[in-house]
A and B are shown apart, each in its own frame.
Chain A
Amino acid sequence: AQSVSQHNHHVILSEAASLELGCNYSYGGTVNLFWYVQYPGQHLQLLLKYFSGDPLVKGIKGFEAEFIKSKFSFNLRKPSVQWSDTAEYFCAVMENQAGTALIFGKGTTLSVSS
């Protein structure tokens, strides 16, 4: 079964620091990749997605992610975090042939101090 690993359980940063959250998946075939964000007390929202094409994708609020096929990775980055980025971040993978389930990682909690 496919799995998604997020390397960091909890990341603590100061405002203006750079962010990189790791995500690796196990499926060897073609996949669609996503990052979702869950702000405190809210539901999950799509942050960015990769289906095909340019492996560097840009999402909302200055986030970007890079798909590295050889490493089965889809790491999330932001050059300068803000206090409002405090949230839980979930990487998710879907086998685009099956398309029945989005497999989520266990999530990374980001705490940004002002």
Chain B
Amino acid sequence: EAQVTQNPRYLITVTGKKLTVTCSQNMNHEYMSWYRQDPGLGLRQIYYSMNVEVTDKGDVPEGYKVSRKEKRNFPLILESPSPNQTSLYFCASSKIGLAGSNTGELFFGEGSRLTVL
């Protein structure tokens, strides 16, 4: 079954304690992205990756890091979490189209709800 898998689904942590949210897709997609969803703000892109070892900042990258060492995995790292990073996080992936750009047809993971105290 084609899917994007995120872990953990729920996490409560404290300020400053490093954490990693994993994301894995089994569709051989080149493009992967992280979004955060906050009430009234919709989805905002944190980081994206067009392929292995190619990552770039989205709209709200501050406080986050990513890596893309393998095509299927795109972990999100919070080096020193703060309460303003309390949010619902979604990982998404898609194919790269013939024009070399993201097709926009994103497959989303189930989401990871993070609370930072």
Contact = CB atoms under 8 A, between A and B. Distances in A.
Interface residues of A, number: 24
Interface stretch (B20-28, B69-77, B78-86, B105-113): B105-113
The secondary-structure label for the interface of chain A is loop
A92 B44 CA distance: 11
A96 B104 CA distance: 9
Contacts of B41: 106
A42 interface: yes
Interface residues on B, range: 20 to 34
B104 A34 contact: yes
Nearest to A93: B104
Interface of A: 9, 32, 34, 36, 42-46, 49, 90, 92, 94, 96-102, 104-107
Given A32-B104, A99-B100, A106-B41, 9 more contacts: A96-B99, A96-B101, A97-B101, A98-B101, A99-B99, A100-B48, A100-B50, A102-B104, A104-B42
11 contacts: A9-B40, A44-B106, A94-B102, A96-B101, A97-B101, A98-B101, A99-B99, A99-B100, A101-B58, A104-B35, A105-B42
